[in-house]
Amino acid sequence: MIEHVSDELREDILNEMRDMADRGTEVRGLTELVQRRLDLKPDSLIPVLAYFCRAFYVSLHDILPLREWLDTDDDREINEIIMPKILKLRSKWLQPSLKT
């Protein structure tokens, strides 16, 4: 299902997520961006997962901890789990044209 949804993702949101992550935005800010731009309910998970997978080239397995975090206020643990995986692949998702 994630693959099907990912074919329809908006490039402007994907690029904004990448730019924000490059500037240091963490999981909550990236999640809220997707939810706000797509006018999603705060507990909408599937689109958020799809955007994280496509934007940062991470696997669904890598970002599934978002399921447990979504309704919490504890960002420290989710950032420790997700952000290293995103940043590890920075060279894949960072577009040089965004940095000029």
Q: For residue 7, is pLDDT > 60?
A: no
Domain count, the chain: 1
In a domain? residue 46: yes
Report the half-sphere exposure of 39 (CA within 13 A, side-chain side). 0
Q: How far apart are CA 18 and CA 90, in angstroms?
A: 9
pTM recorded for the entire structure:
0.86
Look at residue 45 in the predicted model and tell me its pLDDT: 92
Q: What is the pLDDT of residues 20-71, one digit of tens each?
A: 999 999 999 999 999 999 999 988 999 999 999 999 999 999 999 999 998 8
Q: Is the dihedral angle over the CA atoms 67, 24, 16, 37 positive or is it negative?
A: positive
Helix (H) or strand (E) holding 85: helix 75-88
Q: What's the domain range around 44?
A: 2-95
- The pLDDT of residue 8: 85
Residue 100 is assigned to a structural domain of this protein: no
Residue 9 in this model has a pLDDT that exceeds 90? yes
* Within a domain: 60: yes
Q: Is 44 part of any domain?
A: yes
Residue 15 lies in a domain: yes
Q: In Å, how far are 20, 22, 84 from 69, measured between CA atoms? A: 20, 22, 16
